[in-house]
Structure 1
């Protein structure tokens, strides 16, 4: 069973290991709210706190919540998820969407991605977000399959101007 937890210093060591595993695999940590760019876990936690309040969210960023996804049987960090409550800038409207998520490279192909997205969609529904945009790179077949398994309807494919990658845009009605 997977549980969603607010990031905290309690998981600092696991968060750092998670970050390092992605760095070794040369993969991006989607759904982590810039973890890969932060010099310390403490600074990352401070940034997450800013995103939780309309009064403190940085300009051109979205009010959001980020969760650690913990496997309950061994208290292992297997994934992360981020829900943006609104598409507050052009990048999110076109390429980023409402939800980002990741599964630790060593924990992939175990069904966690499908569960993480499903649980994040439930969080969106509690926040009265009726239609959710979820995106993935066109070549990320695993993520596309996860989104489609969660009732994602492919609307279009667009070129992300920031990296020239082809992006699939899916809508999910809650």
Structure 2
């Protein structure tokens, strides 16, 4: 697998971010993580929103501080994104978790999701989160495998009002370090 790294969204990555965003639109799939649903047409405003979310400024009722990172590969190509919530509310404990992540449709099935989650766990540790909750829909076998590949310990499922089953996994971050 090519070398990849996480970084915060920045003006330097605007063209890559816009290409990523357009690929999601063309795919017709829901945006994952939810953080990338922000309209990037005013890119500077979107960057400001990400910064404010990290600082806990202007959050919507019931929302928590969070950090957004981009997975960048060779030639500064944006491969994925991850959203790390700094703490959990009851709703997040049931069906949202600390971490939401997504790989652009054209880059799936190449091992990037496992690497993205691995790097996100290191970031979560640096944010002071020692135990991370990661969730996925029961029918999302690829995501469940990604979480298991990162030592996710499955706990009791949560069933949403519409009957959707959310699988929930805890992952300790205490041994997470960045390997060169």
- TM-score in same-fold range (> 0.5): yes
Contact 2:7 2:70 in 1 (8 A): yes
Question: Structure 2 unaligned runs (5+)?
Answer: 174-180
Provide the alpha-carbon RMSD of the alignment. Answer: 1.8
Contact 1:136 1:169 in 2 (8 A): yes
Question: Structure 1 unaligned runs (5+)?
Answer: none
CA distance in 2, matches of 1:81, 1:121: 10
CA distance in 1, matches of 2:163, 2:18: 29
* 1:31-89 superposed Cα distances (whole Å, 9 cap, x missing partner): 351x2242623332222111111344443211111011100x211000101111101x3
Match of 1:100 in 2: 100
CA distance in 1, matches of 2:70, 2:38: 17
Match of 1:76 in 2: 77
Aligned CA distance change for structure 1 residues 164 and 20 (closer, same or farther; 3 Å): farther
Runs of 4+ off more than 3 Å? 54-59
- TM-score normalised by the chain length of structure 1: 0.88
- TM-score normalised by the chain length of structure 2: 0.85
CA distance in 2, matches of 1:37, 1:122: 25
Match of 2:68 among 53, 66, 69: 66
**Pairwise CA distance, 1:124:** 1.3
Contact 1:31 1:66 in 2 (8 A): no
Aligned CA distance change for structure 1 residues 39 and 12 (closer, same or farther; 3 Å): closer
Question: SS state of the match for residue 139, structure 1?
Answer: coil
Match of 2:167 in 1: 168
CA distance in 1, matches of 2:105, 2:56: 33
- What does 1:1-174 align with in structure 2 at a 5 Å threshold? 1-33=3-35, 35-38=36-39, 40=41, 41-71=43-73, 73-87=74-88, 89-161=89-161, 164-174=163-173
Contact 2:18 2:40 in 1 (8 A): no
Question: SS state of the match for residue 170, structure 2?
Answer: strand
